[in-house]
Amino acid sequence: MSFNIGLSGLRAASGSLDVIGHNIANGNTVGMKAGRAQFAELYATSMGAVGGGTGGIGVELANVRQMFTQGNVTITGNDLDLAINGQGFFEVELTDGTSAYTRAGEFNLNKEGYMVTAQGAKLQGYPAQDGVILSGAVAPIRFPTNEGIEAKATTQINAQLNLNASAAVQTGDLATGFTPPLQTYGTSLVTYDTQGNEVPVSLYFVKTAANTWDVYAKPADVPGATAPMPTTLLGNLTFDEKGILTQASVDALDTWTLEVPNLAATTDPDAPVMLPVSLARGGGVTDIGLSEVTQFASRFAVNLLEQDGNAPGQFTGISIGEDGIIESRYSNGQTKVAGQVTLTNFRNLQALEPQGGGYWRSNSDAGTAVRGTPTTAGFGLLRQGALEESNVDITAELVNMITAQRSYQANAQTIKTQDQIFSTLVNLR
């Protein structure tokens, strides 16, 4: 019996060393969670049972507990690296179509544009359609790496500015010119036509009376055009005695048409004929938002000037927010929502089955998978360009190794002592 007790101690100490060795070997594995050996004593019968003994018969390695504590978050600068700061797991679709869960956020883009792990498992999340997240069933997250973003004509211009209430009334008209000049209170921005061509547009404000201003617009002249672009009166603004806008009667910007020169084939290549052709410019602006224009006794100042058009662009990269929302970035400065990373959690984490590659699989003992988005209740936040390190404490593991080694030696000593006792009995004469 004593031999068996010593052997059980050797097996338990050996199992503990296996756990410690596995932890140390994965000290630099991203997202790895350390294990801890848990032991249980063995008895031949229950203590206090009628007719039974109370002597122990050794020890067993009852379980290897997974330590799901937070690992250190290290900045990498790689846009495809993700770290979970808090609770939750990334859900991935393995190559066999089944689901698994991981804390390792080392992702790459494959040739199809999917975010995948080193083993080819696809990151799951909510997809997006036309920039709107579809928070239903999850699907592999895919980026339009081979697709660009189309040009969009400007339809809306918004301006926030202050017109100087102390300004003098301007006299004159477009034909004779204004005094002070038309450009005294003016600003400009770039709009876009349906093909994505830039169309610079200037907005001018002319004070016609106390608390009343006219609004003019003019697109930039096209080089080589037979005539300059026209300056158009769009409407007027009226303010109350406190400088608050009370009325804005401003028309839309119709598409301007101008005559531009065109080279025509002639018998004399050194003397091309310039023919006028029509070219639509302006982008068809249907609304100019001036509701936040004020008239206070301070200098003319533009606080905001924006428009909703853009030139065509090509995919350049991604950005992922703390809430998991993924945006594609394009060369024209535009962004587009491409989806949202989801996180998954379980009631009983200890029941998760560890797999190779840093994955865990769920089972009935782990409980129903709870899926949500980062930063919501019960889930951590995401850090783009960062990775969660292994939570293995190498110093503590080395100390545990020494303890396990001493335990192994002590159990071996009990076997040696028992052998000496038996030898003494056998040699009795």
Write down the pLDDT at residue 273.
39
pLDDT band, very low/low/confident/very high, at 261 (cuts 50, 70, 90): very low
Identify the structural domains of the chain with CATH numbers, from first to last. Answer: 2-69+391-426 (no CATH), 75-147+320-388 (no CATH), 156-307 (2.60.98.20)
- Range with lowest mean pLDDT among 34-48, 140-154, 182-196, 317-331: 34-48
Q: What is the mean pLDDT of residues 301-310?
A: 92
Helix (H) / strand (E) containing 316: strand 313-320
Residue among 188, 153, 190 nearest 280 (CA): 153
**Rounded to an integer, what distance in angstroms lies between the CA atom of residue 51 and that of residue 255?**
103
- The CA angle 51-57-62, to the nearest 5 degrees, is 120
Residues 194 and 283 sit within 8 Å (Cβ to Cβ) = yes
Q: What is the mean pLDDT of residues 270-291?
A: 55
pLDDT band, very low/low/confident/very high, at 106 (cuts 50, 70, 90): very high
**Rounded to an integer, what distance in angstroms lies between the CA atom of residue 125 and that of residue 41?**
45
pTM of the model: 0.73
Mean pLDDT score of the chain: 86
pLDDT band, very low/low/confident/very high, at 254 (cuts 50, 70, 90): low
Q: Any idea of the CA torsion for 54, 55, 59, 63, to the nearest 10 degrees?
A: 0
**Rounded to an integer, what distance in angstroms lies between the CA atom of residue 88 and that of residue 289?**
44
Q: Classify the C-alpha dihedral 103-106-111-115 as positive or negative.
A: positive
Angle between helices 2-25 and 394-426 (to 10 degrees): 160
Dihedral pair phi/psi, residue 13, rounded to 5°: -65, -40
- Range with lowest mean pLDDT among 50-54, 288-292, 337-341: 50-54
pLDDT band, very low/low/confident/very high, at 135 (cuts 50, 70, 90): confident
- Summarised one tens digit per residue, pLDDT across range 350-388 is 999 999 889 999 999 999 999 999 999 889 999 999 999
Residues 157 and 285 sit within 8 Å (Cβ to Cβ) = yes
The number of angstroms, rounded, from the C-alpha of 354 to the middle of its chain's C-alpha atoms is 27
For the chain, percent of residues with pLDDT exceeding 90: 58
**Rounded to an integer, what distance in angstroms lies between the CA atom of residue 27 and that of residue 11?**
24
The strand pair at 156-164 and 294-296 is best described as parallel
The strand pair at 171-173 and 359-361 is best described as unpaired
- Provide CB contacts within 8 A for 416, sequence distance 6+: none
Other C-beta atoms closer than 10 Å to the C-beta of 236 total 17
- Summarised one tens digit per residue, pLDDT across range 339-348 is 999 999 999 9
CA distances from 225 to 32, 163, 273, 284 (A): 67, 33, 14, 20
**Rounded to an integer, what distance in angstroms lies between the CA atom of residue 175 and that of residue 216?**
14
Write down the pLDDT at residue 54.
61
Write down the pLDDT at residue 9.
87
Residue type, 338: A
Write down the pLDDT at residue 110.
92
Write down the pLDDT at residue 277.
35
Q: Locate 345 and state its tokens.
A: 């959690």
CA distances from 351 to 87, 358, 368, 428 (A): 16, 16, 12, 55
**Rounded to an integer, what distance in angstroms lies between the CA atom of residue 396 and that of residue 412?**
24
